[in-house]
Chain A
Amino acid sequence: MFYLTLIFGPLFLAVVVYALFRNFEGVVKYIALALFAKMLAASIELYNALPAEGYLKLGSFLHVEAFNYVLTLQVDMLSVVMLILSSLLLILVTLSSWTMKNQAAYFSLLIMFSGAIFGVFMSTNLIWFFIFWELTLVPMFFLVGIWGAEQRVYAAVKFFLYTHVASMLILLAFYLLYAQTGFLDVTLIKEAAIATPALVWWLLFLGFAVKLPIFPFHTWLPDAHVQAPAPISVLLAGVLLKMGAYGMIRFVIELMPESSREYAIYMLILGLITAFFAGFLAIYQTHIKKMVAYSSISHMGLVMIAIATVSYEGLSAALYEMIGHAFIISPLFLIAGYLHHKTGSWQMGDMGGIVQRAPYVSAIFVLAGMAALGLPGTMGFIGEITILISAIKVNGAWIAVIALASLISAGYLIWTFRRVIYGEMSPVVASADFKMHKIEFSALVLFAGLIVLFGLYPQPIFDAANQAFAHFGGVQ
């Protein structure tokens, strides 16, 4: 029952908080922070309580026998890792939104989002999974549409429609699975081990590929990420894209390993195109946040390549890179938003010499950027090297070309450092005031700490990955 309140509690709390504290805005962020801390604590508790293999049942609610429509809550290591990541990011997002405008509504929506995202990672009933999956769109739609930049309305509506259409493919695939197996619970469908038709695989793959996002379905992302306020970009990159990767692993690879191996080549090709295409587009950008957004897509392409190996090592590498991507891209988005806020410009050409005005923030930007291009000692290096090794084992030596993707990211990131952080100080920078709220800065420091911590000591994540994928049948 406690875990049910972790999902529905925030949904209810969001309305109550907004109704009660609309006129006492300052309080709401503390409520949000306390809630997210509680959620993190609950996730860590789950991490400790997990059995060595398989699922931990947390109960099932709202039974409707006729339709197998039961809210079954159960978690395995994969979902617990996602829960910890999401609640941790929600805390960091709250810290970095400390001075956001119109706080009552903003944090109410964040609270609502937290309930929905816990539902996504905890429910194994397909329809309830879908319910929470769709529900995450609603707070995001408002968060992008109300607090976003100039083109926010276009970005919000495009994001909503685009991902909603993709969800419809997923729902149809779920329907077909149910019609075929008579089960709606993912664990039961897996046990039934029925050969699924190619149509189901493709529907699920395309549905999750939009969220991931994979070329050519990525076009919603640059708009949504660029127009969203910086903390929401963090949530989009850190949690929403991870939902896509989670769905890909849970419903495509785990449920249909045979078909996945059969179609692995398509996943691989699309992953490669995504990594390179987005990398080249990132070089081309002069808009700092767009550069970060394309860099984000490029890294998700690497995750796709790792998933496409359909092997334990590949999935472990994918999970590591998913976490690494969340911690690395987040400070880049936050700092890009901060620089725009201070200089009033998105163009990298207008910036320059930031390091002289804001040395600490610049240091974190450079650290995160270096991590993104794979500097040893950071999460980026471990992620890329493990993906490379697992991909070579499965696909042969030619796949080493993905190292070139790293080279491309080195190209645009180092050039960005040259244009934005170092170089001559531009008049815009000289006249700007670079003061940053201490709490917002502390969020950046925490991100930097996490990048280095898990870069030097990746073992906990790989232990978790081993446990998460050990009970996946049919994966090599």
Chain B
Amino acid sequence: MSLFALLFGGALVSPLIKNMALLKLFALLILLWSGYALSQGAGVGLVFFEQSSYVRLFEAVVLIVSAALILHLDKEDHGTITQLLFIAAASMALLESTTLLSFVITFEAVSIISFVLVSNIKDATQAEGAIKMFFAGALASGIILFGLGLFAVSGHDFNASALSVDDTFGMIALFIILIGIFYKLTIFPMHTWAADTYAQVSHTNAAILSAIVKTVVALATFKIFMPFLAQLGEMPIYLLAALAVITMTLGNILALYQKSIARILAYSSIAHAGYMLIPFAAVASTYAPTGLLYIAVAYIFMQSAVFLVLEILRKELEIKTLDDLKGLGQKNPLYALLFTVQLFSLAGIPLLAGFIAKAVAFYAGVDAGLWPLIMIALLNSALSVGYYAWIVKHIYFDEAQTKGVITGRFTALLGQLILLGGTIYFGVIAADIFGVLS
């Protein structure tokens, strides 16, 4: 059974089911079936798509995180389930695509579904976030198509499974495509839409956009562009390194100044895009693919978890700003702990996935001889502890204000525990991720 057909078919059938509980059950069964098919070696199974152990692990992770997201959803998110299944299907195809053409087509498919996703708007604020994303995304699509056109004109074969370019014209064309993709990855200076969108669309959608879509795009791009990046000379590599440094520094510094928790998480997501760009610049190192895979796996778990906890906090306790968080640790120790562990993972505290992911990705940079870049990245990571610890300070150190207790649905909690399990498992046991490349 083709993984893509399974998820895509599930998504097509899902609008027919009106009962939310049944729909959730259906979606979970589809994901479970896909997981089973994946374990039996199923992939997308079309021409131009090919599975490797590298993407297989990440496909499994995407399925697990999607299941956790579905467990989290409740009645009002009826449409989100369908869109999530579509995104999962397109993600599988994007991850497995082996040629530039199939990559661009599936990339656009993911983009279009995410435009539909953010259009679940309830008020003007969410509309603003959605529109910003749409315009940025449309612009990015234009740039990518322009690059693709140039690439075709220059006489290269975009059906070739290895991107090898030996002329300047082709290189410029590919760089233009890469810049279009950087819109989705929120790399400076293509990041400006992201903070508003992540902070203003509903937190569940922000979790899907900033966790699933971003990591899938990063990994697929790296996979397709690796031969091209490896050909680059010193200057383009330094340019990528500079973009990485500027993105992470900008994200971290702006996050320090935010009062709204969603905006802090949004800027921290931009900073993480900077960390994800390090393996791109360090492509000469044999650790670069592992580093990116690790950072993607860690990030998808922790980033979706923090946005989902925030969604629960907002829904039940109206928590939006840092001040609203005060005393959460005393009134709701369980959710406070879940939030804190995932924030510490984002900050890179050891024995959580976030630490070892950064440790490997940053080592790739040192291995490629870019140690000044890694020095800046490490200091950035330390800087980011400033705002993560500041959130934790509000949760635990401040006096409690009168606040209710979260009743919380069991399924949402189950979803959180799945994500927590991922963060801790990949923080202690690294063998799985290193195993896929050896």
- A: residues with CB less than 8 A from B are 11, 22, 62-67, 69, 127, 130-132, 134-135, 137-138, 141-142, 145-146, 152-153, 156-157, 160-161, 164-165, 167-169, 171-172, 175-176, 178-179
Q: Which residue of B lies closest to A169 (CB)?
A: B378
Report the bound CA distance from A167 to B367 in whole Å.
20
Q: Which of B397, B429, B437, B438 contacts A145 (CB 8 A)?
A: B397
**B6-14, B85-93, B384-392, B410-418: which lies at the A interface?**
B384-392
Q: Which residue of B lies closest to A144 (CB)?
A: B397
B366 engages A168 (CB within 8 Å) = no
B344 engages A138 (CB within 8 Å) = yes
Distance (Å) between the CB of B343 and the closest chain A CB? Answer: 12
Q: Which residue of B lies closest to A69 (CB)?
A: B430
Q: A127-B359, A157-B389, A175-B371 are in contact. Are A62 and B382 (CB under 8 A)?
A: no
Q: A157-B390, A165-B382 are in contact. Are A175 and B362 (CB under 8 A)?
A: yes
Q: Which residue of B lies closest to A199 (CB)?
A: B371
- Chain B residues in 8 Å Cβ range of A165: 379, 382
Asked if B360 is at the interface (CB within 8 A of a chain A CB), the reply is yes
A62 engages B385 (CB within 8 Å) = no
Q: A66-B290, A175-B362, A175-B374 are in contact. Are A168 and B350 (CB under 8 A)?
A: no
Q: Which of A63, A153, A161, A175 contacts B431 (CB 8 A)?
A: A63
Report the bound CA distance from A172 to B373 in whole Å.
11
Distance (Å) between the CB of A454 and the closest chain B CB? Answer: 34
- Chain B residues in 8 Å Cβ range of A142: 396
Asked if B25 is at the interface (CB within 8 A of a chain A CB), the reply is no
- Chain B residues in 8 Å Cβ range of A171: 359, 362, 378
A161 engages B397 (CB within 8 Å) = no
Report the bound CA distance from A132 to B359 in whole Å.
14
Q: A135-B349, A171-B359 are in contact. Are A66 and B437 (CB under 8 A)?
A: yes
- Chain B residues in 8 Å Cβ range of A64: 430-431, 434
- Chain B residues in 8 Å Cβ range of A175: 362-363, 366, 371, 374
Main secondary structure of the interface of A (DSSP, over half): helix
Asked if B375 is at the interface (CB within 8 A of a chain A CB), the reply is yes
Main secondary structure of the interface of B (DSSP, over half): helix
Q: Which residue of B lies closest to A127 (CB)?
A: B359
Asked if B428 is at the interface (CB within 8 A of a chain A CB), the reply is yes
- Chain B residues in 8 Å Cβ range of A153: 393, 397-398
- Chain A residues in 8 Å Cβ range of B437: 66
Report the bound CA distance from A168 to B333 in whole Å.
31
Asked if B355 is at the interface (CB within 8 A of a chain A CB), the reply is yes
Report the bound CA distance from A135 to B349 in whole Å.
7
Q: How large is the interface on B (under 10, 10 to 19, 20 to 34, 35 or more residues)?
A: 35 or more
Q: Which of B328-363 contact A (CB under 8 A)?
A: 333, 344, 349-351, 355, 359-360, 362-363
Asked if B287 is at the interface (CB within 8 A of a chain A CB), the reply is yes
- Chain A residues in 8 Å Cβ range of B367: 179
A66 engages B355 (CB within 8 Å) = no
Q: Which residue of B lies closest to A135 (CB)?
A: B350
- Chain B residues in 8 Å Cβ range of A176: 366, 371
A66 engages B359 (CB within 8 Å) = no
Which 9 residue pairs of A and B lie closest in terms of their CB atoms, listed nearest first? A131-B350, A168-B378, A175-B366, A66-B434, A165-B382, A134-B350, A145-B397, A64-B434, A64-B430
Q: A127-B359, A134-B350, A168-B379 are in contact. Are A67 and B393 (CB under 8 A)?
A: no
B363 engages A178 (CB within 8 Å) = yes
Distance (Å) between the CB of B197 and the closest chain A CB? Answer: 30
- Chain B residues in 8 Å Cβ range of A145: 393, 396-397
- Chain B residues in 8 Å Cβ range of A132: 350
A67 engages B382 (CB within 8 Å) = no
Q: A135-B349, A153-B393 are in contact. Are A172 and B434 (CB under 8 A)?
A: no
Chain B, residues 163-182, CB within 8 Å of chain A (1/0): the string is 00000000000000000000
Q: Which of B277-330 contact A (CB under 8 A)?
A: 287, 290
Distance (Å) between the CB of A153 and the closest chain B CB? Answer: 5
Q: Which of A67, A135, A161 contacts B434 (CB 8 A)?
A: A67
- Chain A residues in 8 Å Cβ range of B428: 62
- Chain A residues in 8 Å Cβ range of B349: 134-135, 137-138
Report the bound CA distance from A178 to B385 in whole Å.
26
Q: Which residue of B lies closest to A22 (CB)?
A: B333
Asked if B381 is at the interface (CB within 8 A of a chain A CB), the reply is yes
Q: A157-B389, A176-B366 are in contact. Are A67 and B378 (CB under 8 A)?
A: no
- Chain A residues in 8 Å Cβ range of B389: 141, 157, 160-161
A146 engages B396 (CB within 8 Å) = yes
Report the bound CA distance from A176 to B374 in whole Å.
11
Report the bound CA distance from A132 to B355 in whole Å.
12
Q: Which residue of A lies closest to B369 (CB)?
A: A179
Report the bound CA distance from A167 to B431 in whole Å.
25
| Interchain Cβ contacts under 8 Å between A and B, 29 examples | A22-B333, A62-B428, A63-B431, A64-B430, A65-B438, A66-B434, A66-B437, A67-B290, A67-B430, A69-B430, A130-B350, A131-B350, A131-B355, A132-B350, A134-B355, A135-B349, A138-B349, A141-B389, A145-B397, A146-B397, A153-B393, A161-B389, A165-B382, A168-B379, A171-B362, A172-B374, A172-B375, A175-B362, A175-B366
- Chain A residues in 8 Å Cβ range of B393: 145, 153, 156-157
- Chain A residues in 8 Å Cβ range of B378: 168-169, 171-172
B351 engages A11 (CB within 8 Å) = yes
- Chain A residues in 8 Å Cβ range of B429: 62
Report the bound CA distance from A62 to B420 in whole Å.
20
Report the bound CA distance from A69 to B428 in whole Å.
11
Q: Which of A69, A135, A164, A179 contacts B385 (CB 8 A)?
A: A164
- Chain B residues in 8 Å Cβ range of A63: 431
